[in-house]
């Protein structure tokens, strides 16, 4: 187990190193410099170059950049003068994190209910309904569902505010739109796993020992059916991240995603690259936790020699 | 758990005649792999309907749609702005007076191109990488697999965004950006299949007849992996279409005046309040495509690889 984790850590660092290197060389390959403003006199520009170390040879800049990133310093925003990228990201983080976590909670609750209902009443209308919802969930992207919710629940029915972020009620629609994918993934997983687990011998044994149906479902079926759910953690993280880019744009939520799209539009390169690194770290850490948790939760995997 | 009781009478217990040749009789004409798969696919109504709808969408996007309309997707006519669906403009017009019917189908064409190009990249990079890794094995395999593991640690849409910041937006560059890391899954699957197949008897037979490694892979191992490759492609295509729509939605994809389903949805979402049809029509086509590809993919998986069915 320890060797396994150590190996994963090495890959993690390697992946991060590649990402940071790629972002550095991309930032160098981009046309123009952050100080291309023609109003600047050559002297001022030279001073700015000196201040930001842009006059040094490329390899020196590269080493410095890597060292800075390793210390969590992602440079300064070109657009918001005098503010560091890390500071801007951290400032926006709570809103995005709140909506993302809430979306995962919505998704887990709705998805589990759907999956359980579908498995218990297998091959009935409920089952079909859950399968249809699951297919719609992976097929209808959040950037279609978002406007749909805005239009019906917000505009026509007036139940929820359509945009901005002032209190909890404002977070419902964005989280809901973001949660569809979670709902369908969780529902599908729980359904297939429960169907499989319910046919196992130990479930028959539990029933034979006289446990009530509910106790069997909760204590034995659900607990075992939830194991594979861990494997969707990394895909879900990436989904929530990319989803937040469009959802925050649609609902005008002041989160990281909205800021990222804005920085793409105004060519705030340091912001784009910094946020990219931030997202990558998030994803890689999720991947690592997922792999480790999988080994801990399901001893069967450990015994049969952890397959990556 | 209940036992069913039935009336027993002697006629149920007649002894059967044993014919030694009965076991040798062939019950029906032999059924090949693809024919067998097609028979199984035909039983899946959802997949069949999806296939029909996909063919219809392809035909409409490439042939019928532009042919039966006299409008152009790019001509602007400011006197004809924001017309709802009419007899002249079947899907209405957008804020520059461009015809939405032809625009939606032009966008569908772009999305389909990108899906198919991504599938091609999957084949040329993923299959080749996987085949080399699995067939050669040993140290080569080790190195190639470590490479994939590192690539898998990089979120692909983020890579696509970075690539789009540098590259000029266009169908090809968007596909490259999407496909940059998208082929790893295919490579893994093909590699696994190669490892499984290369030590089987038919591979040994071919080899002992003097077949070169390349011939062995190309003539025997790849054809035997085709089922898996096809299944995988059915999920690559909608994935790429989705990724393009996503990039276009945040303003990094197809640039005006070109349109893709993603950019049309993005434009439509901005005008949702007063001109909702601008969103619903491209969104409808997009969701239809995604649903059909997903259903067909599921159906093909069940048909081509019954063991993977869950």
pLDDT band at A308, cuts 50/70/90?
Answer: very low
Mean pLDDT, rounded, for A215-244 = 80
Predicted pLDDT of residue B307: 63
What ipTM did this prediction achieve?
A: 0.77
Q: Which residues of B touch A11 (CB under 8 A)?
A: 146, 149-150, 153
Mean pLDDT, rounded, for B13-28 = 76
Could you tell me which of A54, A111, A286 has the C-alpha nearest to residue B154?
A286
Q: Which residues of A touch B290 (CB under 8 A)?
A: 138-141
Predicted pLDDT of residue A298: 66
- Contact pairs from chain A to chain B, CB under 8 Å: 112
pLDDT band at A304, cuts 50/70/90?
Answer: very low
Higher-scoring residue by pLDDT: B50, A162? B50
Mean pLDDT, rounded, for B160-164 = 79
* Average pLDDT of the residues of chain A: 81
Quick check: A136 pLDDT over 60? Answer: yes
Predicted pLDDT of residue B129: 92
Predicted pLDDT of residue B310: 42
Predicted pLDDT of residue B3: 58
| A114 Cβ contact list (under 8 Å, min separation 6) | A130, A133, A134, A183, A186, A187, A190, A191
Dihedral of alpha carbons A181, A184, A189, A190, sign: positive
Residue pair B112/B226 in contact by the 8 Å Cβ criterion: no
Distance from CA of B146 to the nearest CA of A (A): 8
Tens digits of residue pLDDT in A109-125 = 999 899 988 888 888 88
Other residues' Cβ atoms within 10 Å of the Cβ of residue B115: 23
Picking from A19, A143, A272, A277 by the largest number of B CB atoms within 10 A of its own CB, the best residue to mutate is A143
Select, from the ranges A81-85, A276-280, B152-156, the one with the highest average predicted confidence (pLDDT): A276-280
Predicted pLDDT of residue A167: 76
Using the beta-carbon criterion (under 8 Å), do A144 and B294 form an inter-chain contact? no
Mean pLDDT, rounded, for A48-77 = 79
Q: Is A6 on the interface with B (CB under 8 A)?
A: no
DSSP, residue by residue, chain B: -PPPP----GGGGPPPPP-TTGGG---S----HHHHHHHHHHT-HHHHHHHHHHHHHHHIIIIIHHHS----SS---GGGTT--S-SSSTT-B-TT--BHHHHHHHHHHHHHHHHHHHHHHIIIIIIHHHHHHHHH-HHHHHHHHHHHHHHHTS-HHHHHHHHHHHSPPSHHHHHHHHHHHHTHHHHHHHHHHHHHHTTSHHHHHHHHTT--HHHIIIIIIHHHHHHHHHHHHHHHHHHHHHHHHHHHHTT-SSPTTS--HHHHHHHHHHTTTT-THHHHHHHHHHHHHHHHHHHHHHHHHHHH-GGG--
Q: Which two tokens stand for residue B25?
A: 């009789």
Residue A227 DSSP code: G
Predicted pLDDT of residue A32: 59
User: pTM value?
Assistant: 0.80
> Using CB atoms and an 8 Å cut-off, which of residues 259-298 of chain A contact chain B?
261, 264-265, 269, 272-273, 276, 279-280, 283-284, 287
Quick check: B261 pLDDT over 80? Answer: yes
Looking at the DSSP bridge assignments, the partners of residue A76 are A84
Quick check: B118 pLDDT over 50? Answer: yes
Predicted pLDDT of residue A300: 62
Could you tell me which of B155, B158, B156, B133 has the C-alpha nearest to residue B146?
B133
Q: Degrees (nearest 5) of the Cα angle B237, B238, B241?
A: 90
Predicted pLDDT of residue B170: 78
Quick check: A303 pLDDT over 50? Answer: no
Q: Is A213 on the interface with B (CB under 8 A)?
A: no
């Amino acid at each position: 187990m320890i060797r396994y984790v150590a190996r994963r850590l090495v890959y993690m660092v390697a992946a991060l190193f590649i990402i940071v290197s790629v972002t550095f060389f991309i930032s160098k390959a981009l046309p123009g410099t952050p100080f291309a403003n023609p109003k600047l006199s050559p002297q001022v520009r030279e001073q700015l170059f000196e201040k930001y170390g842009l006059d040094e040879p490329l390899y020196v800049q590269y080493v410095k950049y890597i060292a800075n990133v390793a210390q969590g310093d992602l440079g300064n925003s070109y657009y918001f003068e005098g503010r560091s990228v890390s500071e801007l990201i951290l400032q926006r983080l709570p809103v995005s994190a709140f909506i993302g976590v809430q979306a995962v909670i919505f998704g887990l609750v709705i998805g589990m209910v759907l999956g359980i209902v579908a498995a218990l009443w297998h091959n009935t209308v409920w089952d079909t309904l859950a399968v249809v919802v699951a297919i719609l969930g992976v097929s209808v992207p959040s950037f279609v569902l978002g406007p749909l919710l805005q239009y019906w629940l917000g505009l026509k029915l007036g139940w929820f505010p359509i945009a901005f972020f002032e209190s909890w009620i404002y977070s419902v629609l964005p989280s809901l739109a973001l949660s569809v994918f979670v709902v369908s993934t969780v529902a599908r997983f729980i359904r297939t796993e429960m169907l499989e687990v319910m046919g196992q011998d130990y479930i028959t044994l539990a029933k034979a020992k006289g446990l009530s149906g509910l106790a069997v479902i909760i204590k034995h079926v659900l607990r075992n059916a939830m194991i594979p759910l861990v494997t969707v953690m990394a895909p879900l993280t990436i989904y929530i991240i990319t989803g937040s880019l469009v959802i925050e744009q649609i609902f005008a939520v002041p989160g990281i995603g909205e800021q990222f799209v804005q920085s793409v539009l105004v060519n705030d390169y340091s912001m784009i690259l910094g946020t990219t690194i931030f997202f990558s770290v998030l994803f890689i850490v999720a991947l690592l936790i997922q792999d480790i948790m999988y080994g801990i939760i399901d001893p069967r995997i450990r015994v049969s020699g952890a397959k990556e | 758990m209940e036992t069913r009781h039935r009336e027993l009478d002697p006629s149920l217990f007649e002894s059967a005649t044993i014919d030694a040749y009965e076991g040798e009789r062939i019950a029906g004409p032999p059924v090949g792999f693809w024919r067998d798969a097609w028979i199984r696919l035909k039983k899946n109504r959802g997949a069949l309907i999806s296939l029909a709808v996909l063919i219809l969408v392809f035909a409409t996007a490439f042939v019928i749609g532009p042919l039966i309309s006299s409008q152009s997707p790019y001509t602007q006519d400011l006197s004809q702005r924001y017309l709802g669906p009419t007899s002249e403009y079947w899907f209405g017009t957008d804020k520059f007076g461009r015809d939405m019917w032809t625009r939606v189908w032009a966008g569908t064409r772009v999305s389909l191109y990108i899906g198919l190009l991504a599938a091609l990249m999957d084949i040329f990079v993923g299959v080749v990488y996987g085949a080399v890794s699995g067939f050669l094995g040993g140290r080569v395999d080790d190195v190639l697999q470590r490479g994939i593991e590192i690539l898998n640690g990089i979120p692909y849409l983020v890579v696509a965004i970075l690539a789009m910041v540098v590259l000029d937006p266009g169908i090809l560059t968007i596909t490259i950006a999407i496909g940059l890391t998208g082929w790893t899954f295919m490579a893994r699957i093909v590699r696994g299949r190669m490892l499984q197949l290369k030590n089987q008897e038919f591979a040994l037979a071919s080899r002992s007849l003097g077949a070169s490694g390349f011939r062995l892979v190309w003539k025997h191992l790849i054809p035997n992996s085709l089922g898996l490759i096809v299944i995988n492609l059915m999920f690559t295509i909608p994935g790429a279409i989705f990724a393009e729509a996503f990039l276009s939605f945040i303003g990094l994809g197809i640039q005006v005046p070109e349109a893709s389903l993603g950019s049309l949805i993005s434009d439509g979402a901005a005008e949702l309040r007063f001109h909702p049809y601008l969103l619903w029509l491209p969104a409808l086509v997009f969701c239809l495509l995604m649903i059909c590809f997903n259903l067909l993919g599921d159906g093909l998986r069940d048909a081509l690889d019954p063991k993977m069915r869950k």
